[in-house]
Amino acid sequence: MSSYDYDLFVIGGGSGGVRAARVAASLGKRVAIAEEYRYGGTCVIRGCVPKKLFVYASQFHEHFEDAEGFGWTVGESSFDWKKLVAAKDAEIARLEGLYKKGLSGANADILETRAELVDAHTVRLMKTGQTVTAKTIIIATGGRPNPHAALPGHEFCISSNEAFHLEELPKSIVIAGGGYIAVEFANIFHGLGVETTLIYRGAEILSRFDEDLRRGLHEAMVAKGIRILCHDTLQKVSKGEDGLTLETMNNGTLQAGVVLLALGRDPNTEGLGLEAAGVAVDERGAIIVDDYSRTNIENIYALGDVTNRVQLTPVAIHEAMCFIETEYKNNPTRPDYDLIPTAVFSLPEIGTVGLSEEEAGKRYDELEVYRAQFRPLKATLSGRAERMIMKLIVDAASRKVVGAHILGHDAGEMAQLLGVTLKAGCTKDDFDQTMALHPTAAEELVTMYAPSYRVRDGQRV
């Protein structure tokens, strides 16, 4: 019997921490997990899940408008923000309960407290001051929105955390940032009837996504009434009687009811006792780990957003499962970051897996690019001026599909399935030999027979 209180102590009850704790406990390990706020972490409490519920809410006005083209007369509609927030909160509370139930069912000790390291094997539970020891420790404390403290007036702004609990829906909002969180919230608030401006210092929103999709989404957002100011930044925010006044670098003065800063996330490592335990961090405060999520201290692992690798829920969960294999199943397993499908839940939606045309152009001598842009069937009767984009990037030498990109309805759902085909190493010939499923939008993916263009040495030819 080990002299430690626990075999495993997990700090942080989010996506990665809960998975590691639950599975280790179900293997018979003596496990404790500490969470300082709410079990479920960012994803469940103030990230993916509530965001997707808001995305659904924000799209109903388009459904109501589209209905007319199909013969429906929809009566006057109205939207109640408080009702949505309450319904969302009830669902989040249910999910939080399920997370705890999973942990207690596996016999993990669930601690509702902040935890900090005292040394490499000792953790202090901040609620009581009690210390406990563990043979192995996982740090899975996630991240938090960067407050952008250098911006004068940043204290008048909100982050994505507060966006989930606004007392009232504002008449207007300015969102600073060009990443997926900024873009998704711009679509959510616009869809709920808020006058929305997105301000981003880069040349185009959503860096690292395929250029075609970035431009396509930008144009679609502008067409539906979202103002997008690229090449610009906020210089100052001040509060007056009628709301907030914003000074921008290139677009003069703006007014807004709410300003949301979505300018990146910082790892939660402050005050965690990392120095006391000797755990090394990088210049951004993220915990440095090896290929197996082990820190420089032999018995301390770190996983999920706190390590600043790929900040997505399935990745944190995958890293937790690799930890279990490595530590408890005598099967050292590295997380696999190749071909992670991702989505941007905007309207239209982006779904993507593999390399963008730009990245693939750098890696392969010659590419075949198959590209289709079309009006989906539903948009014919609805009359909506909407175009879908589908794109396959193929390595001409091996015929392997190395990237698949979609802009349009259900793009995220399609990207998940395309992820299987790319992971399996499917070639363009496999796509060609697959029977189309008619009439769907996705059938376009298997009916693009001739390349739209080629890319040689990074240049379109």
Ligand X SMILES: Cc1cc2nc3c(=O)[nH]c(=O)nc-3n(C[C@H](O)[C@H](O)[C@H](O)COP(=O)(O)OP(=O)(O)OC[C@H]3O[C@@H](n4cnc5c(N)ncnc54)[C@H](O)[C@@H]3O)c2cc1C
Interaction between residue 352 and ligand X (CB under 6 A): no
DSSP string covering 174-201, please? EEE--SHHHHHHHHHHHHTT-EEEEE-S
CB nearer to ligand X: pick between 14 and 361: 14
Binding residues for ligand X, total number by CB under 6 A: 35
- To the nearest whole angstrom, how small is the minimum distance from the Cβ of residue 384 to ligand X? 25
Site for ligand X, residues 3 to 32, rule: CB under 6 A: 11-17
Q: Is 405 exposed, middle or buried (0-12, 13-18, 19+ CB in 10 A)?
A: buried
Range in contact with ligand X (rule: CB under 6 A) among 76-84, 139-147, 210-218, 348-356: 139-147
**Which of 23, 191, 180, 35 is closest to 115 using CA atoms?**
35
Interaction between residue 181 and ligand X (CB under 6 A): yes
Interaction between residue 37 and ligand X (CB under 6 A): yes
Interaction between residue 160 and ligand X (CB under 6 A): yes
**What one-letter code names the amino acid at 116?**
E
CB nearer to ligand X: pick between 123 and 394: 123
Site for ligand X, residues 294 to 333, rule: CB under 6 A: 304-306, 311-314, 316
CA 16 – CA 289 distance, rounded (Å): 15
**Which of 51, 59, 80 is closest to 164 using CA atoms?**
51
Binds ligand X by CB under 6 A, chosen from 102, 142, 178, 191? 142
CB nearer to ligand X: pick between 115 and 220: 115
Range in contact with ligand X (rule: CB under 6 A) among 61-69, 111-119, 231-239, 452-460: 111-119
CA atoms in the 13 A half-sphere facing the CB of 62: 19
CB nearer to ligand X: pick between 216 and 273: 273
DSSP string covering 248-299, please? ESSS-EEEESEEEE---EEES-TTS-HHHHT--B-TTSPBP--TTSB-SSTT
**Which of 340, 293, 321 is closest to 18 using CA atoms?**
321
CB nearer to ligand X: pick between 114 and 218: 114
Interaction between residue 102 and ligand X (CB under 6 A): no
- To the nearest whole angstrom, how small is the minimum distance from the Cβ of residue 43 to ligand X? 4
CA 255, 261, 264: angle at the middle one, nearest 5? 155
Site for ligand X, residues 47 to 86, rule: CB under 6 A: 47-48, 51
Residue 438 among the catalytic residues: yes
- To the nearest whole angstrom, how small is the minimum distance from the Cβ of residue 99 to ligand X? 10
- To the nearest whole angstrom, how small is the minimum distance from the Cβ of residue 152 to ligand X? 25
CA 413 – CA 241 distance, rounded (Å): 45
Evaluate whether 161 touches 324 at the Cβ level (below 8 Å): no
Residues belonging to the chain: 461
- Tokens 């009687």 belong to 241
Binding residues for FAD: 52
Range in contact with ligand X (rule: CB under 6 A) among 43-51, 231-239, 422-430, 432-440: 43-51
Query: Which helix (H) or strand (E) is 399 found in, with range?
Result: none
What does the binding site for ligand X look like in residue numbers (CB under 6 A)?
11-17, 34-37, 41-43, 47-48, 51, 114-116, 140-142, 160, 181, 268, 272, 304-306, 311-314, 316
**Catalytic residue set:** 438
